[in-house]
Amino acid sequence: MTDFPWLSVLIAVPIVGAIVVQALPRRANPAAPKQIALGVSLLTLVLTLVMTSAYKTDGGMQFTEQHEWIKTFGAHYALGVDGIGLSLVLLTVILTPVVLLASWNDGDNGRWSPNAFFAWMLAMEGLAVGVFAATDVFLFYVLFEATLIPIYFLVGGYGGPQRARAAVKFLLFSLAGGLVMLASVIGLYVESAQHQGGRADGGATYLVSELAKIDFGTDVGRWLFVGFFIAFAVKAPMFPVHTWLPDTTQNATPGTSVLLVSVLDKIGTFGMVRFCLELFPEASKWATPVVVTLAVISIIYGALMAIGSDNIPRLIGYTSVSHFGFIVLGIFVMNSQGLSGANLYMFNHGLSTAALFLVTGFLISRRGSALISDFGGVEKVAPVLAGLFLVAGLSSLSLPGLSPFVSEFLVIVGTFSHSEVAAAFAVSGIVLAAIYILLMYQRTMTGPTRAEVAGMRDLGTREVVALAPVLLLILVLGFFPKPLLSVINPSVDHTMSQVGKQDPAPTVADKTPEGAHE
């Protein structure tokens, strides 16, 4: 069973599904493409779960496949997942069916047919799995760029009034970052060619496992690191290259925003761990002060901008800037609490943001306005919606008992042992989070019911069914994060050893990864 190309199948199934959905006749049966798309995404989920059952928690890279692709470039079609990759693949395949179900009617009023909407979403899923599973830098880069195309058309074709502008802004930011990374990717080739030149089989290679053995030297390593880091910082997004994110979420459909923020932006932070830290450990340590500062600025700036936003999707976009600040902080404090917190945060942030985008999406579609000031007293007419909104919001502000709390706590613990000043600033992000979430809830849900929302329907069965798995996962992982941590921690240890850092001596005993192991 181990020789079965699991990951290739996980990439191929959604993409083939996308082609089928797009090729279906347009008007024969409007629901058919949606049902097929949902079926395909559920099939992918089931396949992933079967694969996960065969995963060994401390087995390093698993389900590996490797074929030579372009010999001259040293590029391979090489796949494999470790704990970090697996958790993000899981996140992708869990969220896709949820998003498809929640966006059932969102593709109907777009520039193109609903078929295309669902097909692009499935294509996105396949490409995203590929990005998280790629163990060859060239393959990673190709898929990294390829994921932009589905999002570009999803934002540009189906979003709000400013969608074309937002789509272009998104694409240009991402491509500019990607091209900077291209210079570094090519630099890797040149370095690899020089280091491998004497070998019998000759030639350069892009395999991460081989590249990690190369010592690039101080200057070269730092330049290459900067190229990668800029691309990932745009993607993540970090202050000051975050400006595309609020514009995009404001104009995209909620489902698109979920795929973008919860799944695709994780490529940025995933890339920081997989490539910046593991390939350029020396340069990463060199850059830590700057990166930590930017991360703290992101946390506070994103939160402040969120408090000031009246547009709900824009607000959620800014909250993500803040949360990504936490993730980057956890990665670059370089101790095992911070790193495992960051990796856990990637998963949990995906869930909580997805819940928040979807539930506010339902709210906005009912009122026809995305402005907080247009709502008021919704909880009396739509109690289920209000309740789920509150849970999603509380998870976003990291209430204890909900899953993001565990990860945020770990990140802050890790930050304390790195720098108390940075931690002190980062903690203020938690307070600010409470303000933007609770203010939003208070203004939209409580108080006297406004006339415009008086006739609002509560959530329907489809909407509740779509949201339920996400909220359930948030709740379960909030009390019982061990399964996820036990998958992530061995990979974190591997990264730590690659970076060559030891944990500082005094740590919070019961929150060390070893503790979580038991």
Partner 1 sequence: MKFTAPHIQYDLISPILIVLGVAVIGVLVEAAVPRARRYWVQVVLAVVGILGALGGTVYVLDKINAGSDHPKPGFLAAEGAIAVDGPTLFSWVLILVLALLGVLLFAERQLEGGVTAFAGQAAALPGTEAEREASAKGLEHTEVFPLLMFAVSGMLIFPAANDLLTLFVALEVLSLPLYLLCGLARRRRLLSQEAAMKYFMLGAFSSGFFVYGIALTYGYAGSMQFDKIANAVSSSSGDHALLLGGMGLLAVGLLFKVGAAPFHAWTPDVYQGAPTAVTGFMAAATKVAAFGALLRLFYVAFGGARWDWQPMMWGVAILTMVVGSVFALTQTDVKRLLAYSSIAHAGFVLTGFLGARSLADIHAGDITPVQAVLFYVTTYGLTTMAAFAIVTVVRDSGGEATHLSRWAGLGKESPLVAGIFAFLLLGMAGIPLTSGFTGKWAVFAAALSAGAWPVVIVAVLMSAVAVYFYVRVIVVMFFADPVGEGPTVAVPSVMTGAVIAVGAAATLVLGVVPGPLLDALGRIAQFIR
Is-contact 437 395, C-beta < 8 A? no
Shortest Å, Cβ 157 to partner 1: 8
CA distance 68 to 454: 62
Q: Which of 47, 64, 65, 187 binds partner 1 (CB under 8 A)?
A: 187
Please give the structure tokens belonging to residue 291.
């990166």
Tell me the window of 63-71, 382-390, 409-417, 466-474 that interacts with partner 1 (CB under 8 A).
63-71
Whichever of 198 and 448 has its CB closer to partner 1, that residue is: 198
Whichever of 176 and 434 has its CB closer to partner 1, that residue is: 176
Give 79's DSSP letter: E
Shortest Å, Cβ 187 to partner 1: 6
Alpha-helix residue ranges (DSSP H) falling in 75-217: 83-102, 114-133, 137-146, 148-158, 163-196, 208-211
67 binds partner 1 (CB under 8 A): no
Is-contact 18 149, C-beta < 8 A? no
| Upstream peptide bond of 240 is cis (omega within 30 degrees of 0) | yes
172 binds partner 1 (CB under 8 A): yes
189 binds partner 1 (CB under 8 A): yes
CA distance 281 to 45: 35
Distances (CA, A) of 273 to 133, 162, 191, 385, 493: 14, 34, 21, 37, 12
Burial degree of 380 (CB within 10 A; 0-12, 13-18, 19+): middle
Q: Which of 142, 214, 300, 304 binds partner 1 (CB under 8 A)?
A: 142
- x/- contact string, 84-123, with partner 1 (CB under 8 A)? ---------------------------x------------
Q: Which residues of 6-39 are buried (b: 16+ CB within 10 A; e: fewer)?
A: bbbebbebbbebbebbbebeeeeeeeebbebbbe
Is-contact 260 103, C-beta < 8 A? no
Whichever of 189 and 409 has its CB closer to partner 1, that residue is: 189
Shortest Å, Cβ 200 to partner 1: 10
Q: How many residues bind partner 1 (CB under 8 A)?
A: 36
186 binds partner 1 (CB under 8 A): yes
Shortest Å, Cβ 72 to partner 1: 4
Whichever of 241 and 499 has its CB closer to partner 1, that residue is: 241
CA distance 27 to 25: 6
145 binds partner 1 (CB under 8 A): yes
69 binds partner 1 (CB under 8 A): yes
Residues 201-220 that bind partner 1 (CB under 8 A): 202-204
Please give the structure tokens belonging to residue 188.
């890797």
CA distance 431 to 408: 13
Is-contact 332 292, C-beta < 8 A? yes
Beta strand spans in 189-250 (E):
none
Q: Which of 9, 24, 61, 183 binds partner 1 (CB under 8 A)?
A: 183
CA distance 323 to 445: 24
Task: Kindly state the helix (H) or strand (E) to which residue 441 belongs, with its residue range.
Answer: helix 420-445
Residues making up the chain, counted from first to last: 518
Shortest Å, Cβ 111 to partner 1: 7
460 binds partner 1 (CB under 8 A): no
Tell me the window of 89-97, 98-106, 144-152, 276-284 that interacts with partner 1 (CB under 8 A).
144-152
179 binds partner 1 (CB under 8 A): yes
Whichever of 57 and 196 has its CB closer to partner 1, that residue is: 196
Query: Which single residue is written with the structure tokens 């020089």?
Result: 194
Whichever of 157 and 481 has its CB closer to partner 1, that residue is: 157
Whichever of 179 and 431 has its CB closer to partner 1, that residue is: 179
Q: Which of 2, 28, 53, 72 binds partner 1 (CB under 8 A)?
A: 72
Which residue in 241, 303, 274, 367 sits closest to 83, CA to CA? Answer: 274
Q: Which of 11, 119, 167, 327 binds partner 1 (CB under 8 A)?
A: 167
Q: Which of 9, 24, 47, 193 binds partner 1 (CB under 8 A)?
A: 193
42 binds partner 1 (CB under 8 A): no
Residues that bind partner 1 (CB under 8 A): 69-73, 111, 141-143, 145-146, 149, 156-157, 163-164, 167-168, 171-172, 175-176, 179-180, 182-183, 186-187, 189-190, 193, 197-198, 202-204
